[in-house]
Amino acid sequence: MHILAFGDSLTEGYYNHGTQFHPYALKLQELLTKNGFSVKVEERGESGELVTQADTDTPGRDAHGPHRPGMVHRLPALLRESEARGLKYSWVVILGGINDLGWDKEPAQVWAGLRQLYEAVGRHGAQVLALTCMETAYKQGDEKRVELNNLIRTAPSEFAHVKLLDLEKALPFPRDKSDAAAAAEWDDGLHLSPAGYDHMAAAVYEALSAQLGPEARG
């Protein structure tokens, strides 16, 4: 069985200003193996990537990749490539959208892109674990993140092959500065530390392990 971890910098494991990476997929693989699952986890995160196709007519917006075609093009291409190799994923864990909001995309636009991702996975014959977007240290525009998360939470009612992990609730931003353990899981107010990515992996493991059938056991 194969699981694909797909998303942006929070999937790639970005920390320490992008000089180091600690993908949650590493700990997820460890947890699955330790608990008797015969599963291979593949990580395909791209820092700075948007879900939606970026605006190509806005000058100066390619420093962090917004001229890239976006997840709506990358994921279907990745799935086609895997099928050509004879590899079929059983699950795709999808996290994206926070970069889109940072580039002034509307929640409805991002949601439309995420729906395309879920549909592509469905055509591939796999299931989706859809993740909501975590809080950040930056409150400006947070109402759009809340709106997007509320849309993501509707995914299981629309798509039979989609399950939800409410990552916003699983990994809240530590507003209480006295909670040193929680604060240590965050790096720069947007990204996690290695400890935070491991916590994220544990949340993904709990969500997936309840769904994996006996065929996933070694």
Is residue 218 domain-resident?
no
What DSSP letter does each residue of 51-111 carry, written as one string?
Answer: SSPPPTTSTT--TTSTTS--HHHHHHHHHHHHHHTT---SEEEEE--HHHHHTT--HHHHH
- Rounded mean pLDDT, 70-87: 97
For 133-152, write each residue's pLDDT tens digit: 999 998 877 999 999 999 99
Q: Number of folded domains in the chain?
A: 1
Query: For residue 62, what pLDDT is reported?
Result: 39
> Above 80 in pLDDT, residue 180?
yes
Query: For residue 64, what pLDDT is reported?
Result: 46
| 183 CB burial (10 A radius; 0-12, 13-18, 19+) | middle
Is residue 134 domain-resident?
yes
Query: For residue 179, what pLDDT is reported?
Result: 81
CB 200 within 8 A of CB 165: no
> Above 70 in pLDDT, residue 54?
no
> Above 50 in pLDDT, residue 58?
no
Mean residue pLDDT of the chain comes to 92
What six digits make up the tokens of 164?
Answer: 């939800």
Is residue 71 domain-resident?
yes
Name the band, by pLDDT with cuts 50, 70 and 90, for residue 160. Answer: very high
Q: Which candidate, 189, 88, 180, places its Cα nearest to that of 135? A: 189
pTM of whole model > 0.75? yes
Percent of the chain with pLDDT over 70: 93
Is residue 197 domain-resident?
yes
Residue with tokens 């796999």: 126
Query: For residue 135, what pLDDT is reported?
Result: 94
Query: For residue 175, what pLDDT is reported?
Result: 81
Is residue 87 domain-resident?
yes
Query: For residue 55, what pLDDT is reported?
Result: 58
Is residue 75 domain-resident?
yes
Residue with tokens 């400006």: 140
Where are the extended beta strands (E) located within the chain? 2-7, 14-15, 20-21, 40-45, 91-95, 127-131, 162-165
CATH number of the domain bearing residue 169: 3.40.50.1110
Domain extent for 24? 2-213
Is residue 102 domain-resident?
yes
- Rounded mean pLDDT, 69-88: 96
For 9-43, write each residue's pLDDT tens digit: 999 999 999 999 999 999 999 999 999 999 999 99
CB 110 within 8 A of CB 70: no
Name the band, by pLDDT with cuts 50, 70 and 90, for residue 213. Answer: confident
Between strands 20-21 and 14-15, the pairing is antiparallel
Between strands 127-131 and 91-95, the pairing is parallel
Query: Could you tell me how far CA 124 lies from the centroid of its own chain?
Result: 18
